A = this chain, B = another copy of it.
């Protein structure tokens, strides 16, 4: 959003009062490098080389590599579209999250870097605050909004925990054969693979059922299931009969280890 022009202007105007935009240049080339080569391509030395500068020069603008990664995340999160105005909370949340997903798909390394962060960056804080605002404006109590954030988890930032990206969405013959061999050890996985292959052959109806494993469809399916659940809770909280929460949670916590407290991290 105009940051490029800004950075250029800063570098150009060698006579300007000052040119503090060097950090931006570093972050932007770091993002570019990551876009090309993935997470493991991000190294201080490579960024410096790309900038035609000695590695230690970066440290005049960036505290350390962690700070650099935080800055990169801020660049990416800053690309998420702002919330749309005037929509009901559900579509506002939905569209915002889908925008976040689009952004993260443009920067496939970002999800992994995000996971490795240990504290939120300014852009993320702003993003969460605005997301909370959507919920509150939609009639959520602070408590229910808090739960909603936890329920969304990483999906709120546009990605689900997609483990094992090698399980290609369209199983090829080799995969089918392999899993068929293991069918007696892993019968259910084999069944799934069979079904995926069948759906694929029958001409890829993107309607979830029978179709091949389409991550966009799956993402939206999960998102909508969760939004529907929240909508129901919101409605029941307005009836006000009892505090809104899903069924099984009405009992007290069931299985927590008493010694967990220190081990469990807490998100926002």
Residues of A within 8 A of B (CB): 94-95, 98-99, 102, 105-106, 108, 112, 114-120, 124-126, 128-130, 132-133, 136, 141-147, 150-151, 153-155, 157, 160-169, 185-189, 191-192, 195-196, 206-210, 213-222, 224-230, 233, 243, 245-249, 252-257, 260, 263-268
Q: A102-B257, A153-B160, A162-B267 are in contact. List 14 more A-B contacts (CB 8 A).
A: A117-B164, A133-B188, A136-B188, A145-B192, A146-B213, A150-B218, A154-B160, A154-B163, A167-B266, A216-B264, A224-B248, A225-B233, A226-B226, A229-B229
Given the complex, which residues of B lie within 8 Å of A157, measured CB to CB?
163
Contacts A243-B208, A248-B94 given: A162-B216 contact, CB under 8 Å?
no
| Alpha-carbon separation in the docked complex, A174 to B94 (Å) | 34
Number of copies: 2
Contacts A154-B154, A192-B142 given: A220-B263 contact, CB under 8 Å?
no
A132 touches B189 (CB 8 A): yes
| Alpha-carbon separation in the docked complex, A99 to B105 (Å) | 32
Given the complex, which residues of B lie within 8 Å of A254, measured CB to CB?
98, 220
Query: What does DSSP make chain A's interface, helix, strand, loop or mixed?
Result: helix
Contacts A153-B160, A229-B229, A249-B221 given: A105-B167 contact, CB under 8 Å?
no
CB of A34, distance to nearest CB on chain B (Å): 13
User: What are 27 A-B contacts defined by CB distance under 8 Å?
Assistant: A98-B254, A115-B115, A124-B164, A125-B189, A126-B186, A128-B189, A130-B188, A132-B189, A143-B195, A147-B208, A147-B218, A150-B160, A151-B221, A151-B225, A153-B154, A162-B266, A165-B266, A206-B253, A213-B266, A215-B267, A216-B253, A216-B256, A221-B249, A224-B247, A224-B249, A225-B246, A228-B246
**Nearest CB to that of A164 among chain B residues?**
B120
Given the complex, which residues of B lie within 8 Å of A228, measured CB to CB?
229, 246-247
B243 touches A209 (CB 8 A): yes
B224 touches A267 (CB 8 A): no
| Alpha-carbon separation in the docked complex, A151 to B120 (Å) | 25
